[in-house]
């Protein structure tokens, strides 16, 4: 079960758009604005090695005969896409690879040569005095065209691009040194079209990568080291980042679920006891309204009334603790004294929806139990009403509520996204939402896995409670 969740989470992170290394290098080395491309490339390569992104994704892969098994080593997702599209069309990886290297050669050469060196050469060759920016211009044009070739897969576009590169090169005398590469490029492209083996695309091949795969490494890190990877946004380890948020969130969730049960059980019992009275009718209506009231609406309204200078400023507008006071030195109670005002409104919003739900369920199950024969027997024996209700009926009426516990827990975790966003409470939900907005996939994945894990715990707790409430069940 957990394995399935982790598989799903991993699949999500793998199919996510955006290159993690790009994001990491952009966010990490923002201060050191080294424009040296080769240094950057080295950093990226080492990062890739560290993250294991140069490995195949999974234990095995299903490809066609035409595709090469090392495509995952090309990092740029757009280039990879182009190459695999070309493969899907022509089905001859050898020729496509030749074409790809031809593009890369041309690119390398055009990047390595500057206008000055070209000018120097042509000064020796021809008498014309070249304008420097003109040379620069055509050089840039070549670079642009070759770059865009890496992302082009449609025949017409490739043809025109190659033609235009050739035109530029053959037009100008000083670009003579590119002739070989350009010819090579168009030649390899011709070869690719001429020797197309499209049938290879229809032959499936299963390739076995063994343990040397990204998923294996990922799973190993989690299971053995508890390492969920590093966050893309700031390079911090995810697990430490999440743990604090998790504590903040779970505090809210646990308190509010506890409160919800605490309030709803008496209400449910009372409304079941006084069936048909005005008490039952009014509480029924109110509970129904609360049950239908969307949490984000209620939360916003609470903020509007109780954290708004125009009305009352009873509670802070958002956040999880005062910004200007350092809480790390204090003990638990002192810290709590500062933190509780931030928790009141979120807890109210969390609690009301679940307690409305729970007390309605308790009422129904209580009514069902009260109509049973053994309750009538207990009454006939002359037991007091309280004794009948609390001693005989309550335990049985609580059974469906325990099942609810399993459902309420994931709902609370999911609902925390919206509520924590409203109250700007920096718990797990807000962290998850930020992660999703910033495409921080290690964060999302670990959040996913963690909430699945917590639901498992909820299942376990529910089982224990079952055994506690119902003596017929034993383990």
Partner 1 sequence: MKKNKKHIINTEPAEANLFSYRKYAFTQFKKNKPAWYASWLLCLIIFIALFASFIANDQPIYAKYRGKNFYPVFSQHWLIKSIFNTNAVDSTINPETGYWEKIQFDITDWRTLELEKVIWAPIPYSPHKQDIYNNDFASPRSKQYMKNAQGKIVESPWFFRHHLGTDALGRDVLSGLIHGTKVSLLVGFFSVIIAAIIGVFLGSMAGYFGDNRIKISRASFWFSVLGIIPAYFYAFHVRRFVIADAFADKIWWGCVQLLFSLFIFCAIVYLFYKAGTLLKNRFFAKQVSLPVDSIVSRSIELLNSLPRLILIITVSAIIKERSLLILVIIIGFTSWTEIARFVRAELLKVRVLDYITAAKASGLSNRQIILKHALPNALAPVFVTVAFGMASAILIESGLSFLGIGVPEEMVTWGSMLNAGRQEFDAWWMIVFPGMAIFITITIYNLIGEGLRDALDPKLKN
Would you tell me how many other CB atoms lie within 10 Å of the CB of residue 75? 15
For 173, which DSSP code?
G
Nearer to partner 1, 204 or 382 (CB): 204
Residue 303 binds to partner 1 (criterion: CB under 8 A): yes
Would you tell me how many other CB atoms lie within 10 Å of the CB of residue 292? 9
Instruction: Choose one: 21-29, 187-195, 297-305, 322-330; the region binding partner 1 (CB under 8 A).
Output: 297-305
Smallest gap, in angstroms, from Cβ of residue 248 to partner 1?
Answer: 17
Contact with partner 1 (CB under 8 A) among 113, 404, 411, 465: 411
Residue 328 binds to partner 1 (criterion: CB under 8 A): no
Contact with partner 1 (CB under 8 A) among 159, 407, 434, 463: 407
Packing angle of the helix pair 332-370, 399-423 (nearest 10 deg): 140
CA angle 197, 200, 206 (to 5 degrees): 155
End-to-end Cα, the chain, rounded Å? 21
Residue 367 binds to partner 1 (criterion: CB under 8 A): yes
Instruction: Choose one: 5-13, 72-80, 124-132, 242-250; the region binding partner 1 (CB under 8 A).
Output: 5-13
Nearer to partner 1, 27 or 407 (CB): 407
Instruction: Choose one: 39-47, 49-57, 59-67, 166-174; the region binding partner 1 (CB under 8 A).
Output: 59-67
The tokens for 209 are 């990568």
Instruction: Choose one: 99-107, 168-176, 189-197, 361-369; the region binding partner 1 (CB under 8 A).
Output: 361-369
Residue 119 binds to partner 1 (criterion: CB under 8 A): no
Smallest gap, in angstroms, from Cβ of residue 383 to partner 1?
Answer: 23
Q: Which residues touch 162 (CB under 8 Å, ≥6 apart)?
A: 149, 182, 185, 186, 189
Smallest gap, in angstroms, from Cβ of residue 140 to partner 1?
Answer: 30
Residue 414 binds to partner 1 (criterion: CB under 8 A): yes
For 230, which DSSP code?
B
In terms of Cα–Cα distance, which of 150, 201, 246, 286 is closest to 454? 246
DSSP 293-333: S-HHHHHHHHHHHHB-TTS-B-S-SS-SS-SSS--TTS-HH
Separation CA 111–CA 387 (nearest Å): 88
Contact with partner 1 (CB under 8 A) among 71, 176, 421, 470: 421
Contact with partner 1 (CB under 8 A) among 136, 201, 217, 244: 201
The tokens for 338 are 């500062």
Contact with partner 1 (CB under 8 A) among 243, 304, 338, 340: 304
Residue 469 binds to partner 1 (criterion: CB under 8 A): no
Contact with partner 1 (CB under 8 A) among 85, 155, 207, 220: 85
Separation CA 308–CA 158 (nearest Å): 61
Instruction: Choose one: 188-196, 220-228, 413-421, 464-472; the region binding partner 1 (CB under 8 A).
Output: 413-421
Contact with partner 1 (CB under 8 A) among 235, 294, 319, 322: 294
Would you tell me how many other CB atoms lie within 10 Å of the CB of residue 170? 14
Contact with partner 1 (CB under 8 A) among 112, 171, 204, 381: 204
Smallest gap, in angstroms, from Cβ of residue 259 to partner 1?
Answer: 21
Instruction: Choose one: 116-124, 127-135, 395-403, 442-450; the region binding partner 1 (CB under 8 A).
Output: 442-450
Smallest gap, in angstroms, from Cβ of residue 4 to partner 1?
Answer: 6
Question: Which ranges of 150-277 would DSSP assign to H, the alpha helix?
Answer: 155-171, 179-194, 214-220, 238-273
In terms of Cα–Cα distance, which of 300, 304, 307, 252 is closest to 429? 252
Smallest gap, in angstroms, from Cβ of residue 65 to partner 1?
Answer: 11
CA 447 from chain centre, in angstroms, equals 8
Separation CA 349–CA 430 (nearest Å): 16
For 276: left if phi > 0, alpha if psi spans -120 to 50, otherwise beta; the answer is: left
Nearer to partner 1, 288 or 314 (CB): 288
Contact with partner 1 (CB under 8 A) among 389, 396, 452, 462: 452
In terms of Cα–Cα distance, which of 133, 118, 82 is closest to 103? 82
Smallest gap, in angstroms, from Cβ of residue 331 to partner 1?
Answer: 33
Residue 436 binds to partner 1 (criterion: CB under 8 A): yes
Residue 62 binds to partner 1 (criterion: CB under 8 A): yes
Residue 65 binds to partner 1 (criterion: CB under 8 A): no
In terms of Cα–Cα distance, which of 218, 370, 353 is closest to 290? 353
The tokens for 339 are 């933190």
Q: Which residues touch 3 (CB under 8 Å, ≥6 apart)?
A: none
Q: Which parts of this chain interact with partner 1 (CB under 8 A)? A: 1, 4-5, 8, 12, 15-17, 62-64, 85, 88, 201-202, 204, 206, 275, 288-289, 291-294, 296-297, 300-301, 303-304, 308, 310, 364, 367-368, 407, 410-411, 413-415, 417-418, 421-422, 432-433, 436-437, 439, 444, 447-448, 451-452, 455-456, 459
């Amino acid at each position: 079960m957990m394995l399935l969740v982790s598989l799903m989470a991993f699949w999500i992170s793998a199919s996510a758009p955006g290159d993690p290394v790009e994001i990491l290098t952009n966010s990490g080395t923002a201060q050191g604005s080294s424009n040296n491309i080769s240094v950057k490339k080295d950093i990226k390569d080492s990062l890739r090695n560290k993250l294991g992104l140069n490995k195949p994704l999974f234990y095995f892969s299903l490809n066609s005969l035409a595709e090469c098994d090392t495509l995952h080593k090309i990092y740029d997702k757009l280039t990879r896409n182009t190459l695999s599209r070309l493969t899907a069309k022509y089905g001859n990886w050898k020729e496509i690879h030749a074409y790809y290297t031809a593009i890369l050669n041309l690119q390398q050469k055009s990047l390595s040569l500057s206008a000055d060196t070209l000018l120097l050469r042509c000064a020796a060759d021809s008498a014309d005095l070249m304008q420097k920016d003109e040379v620069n211009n055509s050089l840039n044009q070549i670079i642009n065209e070759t770059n865009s070739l890496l992302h082009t897969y449609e025949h017409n576009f490739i043809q025109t691009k190659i033609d235009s590169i050739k035109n530029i090169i053959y037009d100008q005398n000083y670009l003579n040194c590119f002739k070989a590469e350009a010819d090579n490029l168009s030649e390899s492209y011709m070869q690719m079209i001429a020797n197309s083996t499209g049938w290879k695309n229809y032959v499936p091949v299963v390739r076995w990568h063994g343990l040397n795969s990204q998923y294996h490494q990922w799973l190993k890190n989690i299971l053995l080291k508890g390492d969920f990877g590093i966050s893309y946004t700031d390079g911090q380890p995810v697990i430490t980042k999440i743990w604090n948020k998790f504590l903040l969130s779970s505090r809210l969730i646990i308190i509010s679920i506890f409160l919800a049960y605490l309030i709803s059980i008496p209400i449910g019992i009372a409304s079941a006891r006084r069936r048909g009275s005005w008490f039952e009718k009014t509480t029924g209506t109110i509970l129904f309204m609360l049950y239908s009231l969307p949490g984000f609406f209620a939360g916003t309204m609470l903020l509007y009334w109780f954290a708004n200078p125009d009305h009352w400023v009873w509670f802070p507008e958002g956040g999880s603790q005062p910004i200007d006071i350092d809480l790390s030195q204090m003990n638990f109670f002192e810290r709590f004294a500062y933190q509780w005002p931030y928790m009141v409104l979120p807890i109210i919003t969390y609690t009301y929806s679940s307690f409305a739900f729970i007390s309605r369920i308790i009422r129904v199950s209580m009514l069902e139990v009260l109509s049973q024969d053994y309750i009538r027997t207990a009454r006939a024996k002359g037991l007091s009403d309280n004794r009948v209700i609390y001693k005989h009926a309550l335990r049985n009426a609580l059974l469906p509520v325990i099942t609810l516990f399993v459902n309420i827990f994931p709902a609370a975790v999911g609902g925390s996204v919206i509520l924590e966003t409203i109250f700007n409470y920096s718990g797990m939900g807000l962290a998850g939402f930020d992660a999703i907005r910033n495409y921080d996939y290690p964060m999302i994945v670990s959040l996913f896995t963690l909430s699945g894990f917590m639901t498992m715990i909820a299942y376990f707790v529910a089982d224990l409670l079952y055994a506690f409430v119902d003596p017929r069940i034993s383990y």
